[in-house]
């Protein structure tokens, strides 16, 4: 384990288009010592992403899981579904920089990834960066409070 590593309970969910990366990220995260709770789907058969993403987002909002990851073809719909849940701040990430900034500036408690848009290696790197990056606080706190007021 890395110095300062804090294992987390992480919700994960996908639609059919994000299923392959979901399974790979589960292995990656559990191998790193995290407890991963899978909210589905369980195959590449076509499904409606809001069902699975909402369940993962609700687990994060209730505090049952500390963070959440949702995946789809582009990640757009999955992020939208998660963000409908109060207290969830789900960022669509497509680079290590967007993953890092989503934590530093937005205190994102969930991220969304598009399997059709990023490599698996990049997906792993984004997830690791997001998990390891602390919230910067400061001027960003009032903005987060404004988001959570909705």
Tokens of 121: 């290696």
Tokens of 17: 């288009």
Q: Are 110 and 70 in contact (CB under 8 A)?
A: yes
Asked, as a colleague might, if the bond just before 85 is cis with ω within 30 of 0, I would say no
Is residue 34 annotated as part of the catalytic site, yes or no? Answer: no
Q: Are 9 and 37 in contact (CB under 8 A)?
A: yes
User: Which residues in 15-85 belong to E strands, given as ranges?
Assistant: 35-38, 67-72
Active site residue: 34, 58, 78, 115, which one? 78
Active site residue: 24, 105, 132, 136, which one? 105
Is residue 105 annotated as part of the catalytic site, yes or no? Answer: yes
Residues annotated as catalytic (active site), given as ranges: 78, 105
């Amino acid at each position: 384990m890395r110095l300062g590593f804090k294992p987390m309970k992480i919700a994960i969910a996908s639609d059919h288009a994000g299923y392959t990366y979901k399974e790979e990220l589960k292995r990656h995260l559990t191998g790193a010592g995290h407890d991963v709770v899978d909210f589905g789907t369980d195959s590449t058969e076509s499904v409606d992403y809001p069902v699975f993403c909402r369940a993962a987002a609700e687990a994060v909002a209730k505090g049952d899981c500390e963070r959440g990851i949702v995946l789809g073809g582009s990640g757009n719909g999955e992020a939208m579904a998660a963000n409908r849940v109060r207290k969830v701040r789900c960022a669509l990430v497509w680079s290590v920089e967007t993953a890092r900034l989503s934590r530093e500036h937005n205190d994102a408690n969930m991220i969304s990834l598009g399997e059709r848009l990023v490599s698996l290696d990049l997906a792993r790197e984004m997830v690791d960066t997001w998990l390891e990056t602390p919230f910067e606080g400061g001027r960003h706190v009032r903005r987060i409070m404004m988001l959570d007021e909705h």
